Structure 1
């Protein structure tokens, strides 16, 4: 023991053990009495600006909510007057326009310093004319933009059969839930006048010319002109039937918490659509929706006083799955009371039975539900990523009183997840075979991902889960491995769809391939290891700026963060790397840990829509370092000193 303690590597082991113990203690303390974990989910100030605008449109804004929201928005303004889509990122035109308008509605004068600097940024970025379609639609709701200058989205698309191009099920689930209520808004084109203008934001440039008629963009632009003409003289009977069908579709998908899909965009647009179709504010659907939206509000303090901001989504199921897996990898007993409580809560959240209908069944009608959703209440949209991670965690739990229930739930989940494999062998987040790209060419689609094709990170989590289930040699897992192998980038990394970015993708894929039986000496694994080692920062950590989604120069580059460092370490540990890169990575985590056992992480590392919408999962900074430290200490238990002797 004494000889081991004299080795500097063993000092690192001791430090790592102390860091892990402190982090685990902190994570235990954050568990809710019901068994779940939930970190705040922070995005950008468009959520807050749109919440303020929604309340003004519906007539429920108050001076208190206006001022608290305005304080939050002001506290996030950049020095150049702009607002960004992620912390530390460049200014974004549409985000800045929406923040400017919200502050004006909250009572700020156009000439005040905050708004003058914002207007200057907007002008330099091309003016409000270059803002995204969603921003123009929000402006049109208040008479600040012409509906004639917004793309038409007719509710008659509700009648397109499922095999037809551009039917609503060609959209990814998050886009589908947003598009349907927007067809109602687009058809009715409401205007709620406000006593402000946006002249300060206009560049005055002329509309852009149409693209060539031989191009897809040109075809869709001319189709949009036709739809505008149809809007002026629609077939009244058909239009009314379409509106009724859209509203019925919306009401059918309202969740138990009052929301739609558990995410902000379809939630707010559904409330507007229902209100426009005659649902009063005190109607059951509207009241439930507004009450549920209030539950997404987070109260905070700024330098100017109390503030409020809105989560775009809430992630308790995802956070609980990750926390449970991290604790088990940290060596917490499989029948620990906190572990069992988390397992019980997750079991209650499973979406089961043939009567639990969801949009995913459009392409898998005979598949029986057995997945989990991301949020507290989102039974219509279970997702594959959550389900895979939950199976990985729950299969390791030793439940003292309900082992049979646990086994049955996991067997259902594996069957459902396997059945959601796409034809090409990969897995997407919510749907199978949602790969038709035609919708991406519509003039409306200038923001975010609108389809849900398979991704490396989700496919990797499913492959790792199937391997842990002993199904590595079965066809679904083998096809998943082939998909991952084929999707590796030339530089050795993998693209990260739901996390930033190639560090996330690579951190997910390498452990999955190794678990599925790919040799750690395989050329693809070695290439991934080299890529990670080449992109380690001087401080020992890893980071990748979210600008990497648009600018390849940022791939693998950025300030070190705890979560991204942990992702890189998980890949290197799975590849059985025993290099200085691993030791330096562990050193980064140990040296940057806070006294309370967690870590600071100012940068966003989660991805909503690559290139457009990003997320700061506040629990990532804790669970992923626990995972990495736990696996580091567990991979060579002979050298992991017992706690008493090590200290």
Structure 2
């Protein structure tokens, strides 16, 4: 572990003073993080989501006729445990109820045998009716209802399977959707064509309400145009269904082939629960029996995403919506090396070997827009051969760069992988100079305005957090002054919010964005005196909590009142500290933040964080990355200690 050098006693971080509590906290956190490593070399924290993952798992098993009493009972215990006092279910810890999540949770518990007259479901039904009922739920929820005869198919928006035949330049082709969305849209277009109905032995009339859900008004012209587009899609779909012509048959065949080609080695589709579920249903409806190898592998693959826990009420079963061992491992390597662990430590050596083995060397969906770009980079999960992403690639390269020796050279295998990753990342830059997560120039917003697509972010435009991570990677590789990097820096500076923060696409929210951008700007040599840096520092100081920490509620995505505000959390406090340290801030805000982390650390070296600080879809879907509470505080404390030892940057 890091050895403290310098004065111990009263003072500030900027004058060589080292808080002995911080030194102890770093040691405990280092040991705790090492204890969490797998024998294979990777780290993986659980990724908690909301109960729709578990509800849809039961609905899938009911639809396929494979739902068991044990699975049902265990999932139902988990779903019940997450219900709020008012009867609803939320999409993040501390949030208020959300209608579609509540409808799906209610339906799952009815499947589990809970009676509509039981108090917890009476409360849920009352809440759902008062907030719009079935009519106000999102399209994807009503598709589930339609599959069980609880909603008429003809009242749902349509998306014909012929979209898979549209060439790249035509609006609404499948590559207009972000990768996570297209993986769901293709199988759902098959399901909406076939319109299956497998009735349940009960109805849910108690959830029906004449009151519509909340609507977001569109400008008049787009609204009219979209109504016309929806009408045209309905006419086309109706004619295709009636005639059953060659074009529809070709589209269904192409959709099935597209789905089959993208199944991962672990049985999933992109390592994501929603496209995984919809792909199973679509293929089964197209004639793949349950014992078909593809379906069998898909169903067996869910076991690797299951968490089972013993509780006073019995075993609970819950699903991870996704897994991020590559991301977690890269973050852990950065944290441990910042804390002073030598790169030849066995834990880091095994992590490097594992990360090198996860490099992707084949073309994926990204190559549709970049056909001449050589493969490279890393993905998020264990098995995700089709979807490397810029965030993971940047973080892995930053981790692997720690193996650069005293000669300035990387070991051969590491250097070659890093070079390929950087070349791929540079080639994935969008036209405006920034980077999205998975695709280049995925910015056509028409798909988000379709009535069929009323949930989540459906395109993947450049974001400040991803772009900042790529910029930091390029700077670490000696490319701070390259034209690509300079243009990206200009893009980042232009994205700063009026208040001084940056929006966070993949983490909650402005604390995450700002915590990514300021270290990137420092890495390329932007001085602490730069006006953008000073504005950001003032914003962070203004949003520090009275207890010394920082926090931001996920509601900041939809309600500006919450921007930069919320109960202090370890990960968000660490992001604020990383930003301030990179900006050269020596104010008391840093010392207070460090003190909060030291005071809230558990005896075992970890931190508690029930809050959801990761973002899937802003405003709709959030993730609690369980390892964030361990890696980011360690990184922040270690960098604080390094600055105390070495003096502030100028």
1:381 aligns to what?
387
Stretch moving more, 28-37 or 196-205: 196-205
Quote the Cα distance in structure 2 between the aligned partners of 1:467 and 1:559. 34
Distance 1:147 1:213, change over 3 A: farther
- The reply to whether residue 295 of structure 1 matches residue 301 of structure 2 is no
Quote the Cα distance in structure 1 between the aligned partners of 2:82 and 2:165. 43
Shift of 1:399: 8.5
- The reply to whether residue 532 of structure 1 matches residue 551 of structure 2 is no
Write the deviation string for residues 605-624 of structure 1: whole angstroms up to 9, x where unpaired. Answer: 00000000000000000000
153, 163, 184: which one pairs with 1:147? 153
Quote the Cα distance in structure 2 between the aligned partners of 1:32 and 1:258. 22
TM-score normalised by L of structure 2: 0.95
Number of aligned residues: 637
- Say whether the 8 Å CA contact 1:148–1:228 is kept in structure 2: no
2:135 aligns to what?
129
Distance 1:2 1:33, change over 3 A: closer
1:48 aligns to what?
54
In structure 1, the residue corresponding to 2:102 is in which secondary structure?
helix
Shift of 1:114: 1.2
Runs of 4+ in 1 over 4 A off after TM superposition: 8-12, 205-214, 398-402
Write the deviation string for residues 403-448 of structure 1: whole angstroms up to 9, x where unpaired. Answer: 2111111011110011111010000100000011111110011110
In structure 1, the residue corresponding to 2:268 is in which secondary structure?
coil
1:118 aligns to what?
124
Quote the Cα distance in structure 1 between the aligned partners of 2:297 and 2:319. 17
Quote the Cα distance in structure 2 between the aligned partners of 1:99 and 1:206. 20
- Say whether the 8 Å CA contact 1:75–1:302 is kept in structure 2: no
- Say whether the 8 Å CA contact 2:548–2:589 is kept in structure 1: yes
Shift of 1:345: 0.1
- The reply to whether residue 312 of structure 1 matches residue 321 of structure 2 is yes
- The reply to whether residue 618 of structure 1 matches residue 626 of structure 2 is yes
Shift of 1:149: 1.3
Distance 1:460 1:329, change over 3 A: same
1:643 aligns to what?
none
Write the deviation string for residues 560-586 of structure 1: whole angstroms up to 9, x where unpaired. Answer: 000000000000000111110000000
Shift of 1:11: 8.2
Task: Give the 5 Å matches for 1:206-605.
Answer: 215-234=221-240, 235-236=243-244, 237-352=246-361, 356-397=362-403, 403-605=411-613
Gaps of 5+ in 1: 641-647
88, 101, 121: which one pairs with 1:82? 88
Shift of 1:218: 2.8
Write the deviation string for residues 73-124 of structure 1: whole angstroms up to 9, x where unpaired. Answer: 0000011111000011010000000000000011110011111110111011
- The reply to whether residue 62 of structure 1 matches residue 62 of structure 2 is no
In structure 1, the residue corresponding to 2:474 is in which secondary structure?
helix
Distance 1:512 1:6, change over 3 A: closer
TM-score normalised by L of structure 1: 0.96
Quote the Cα distance in structure 2 between the aligned partners of 1:163 and 1:507. 37
- Say whether the 8 Å CA contact 1:212–1:218 is kept in structure 2: no
Distance 1:207 1:41, change over 3 A: closer
In structure 2, the residue corresponding to 1:396 is in which secondary structure?
helix
Quote the Cα distance in structure 2 between the aligned partners of 1:102 and 1:83. 12
Shift of 1:4: 3.6
Q: CA RMSD in A?
A: 2.1
Quote the Cα distance in structure 2 between the aligned partners of 1:208 and 1:553. 20
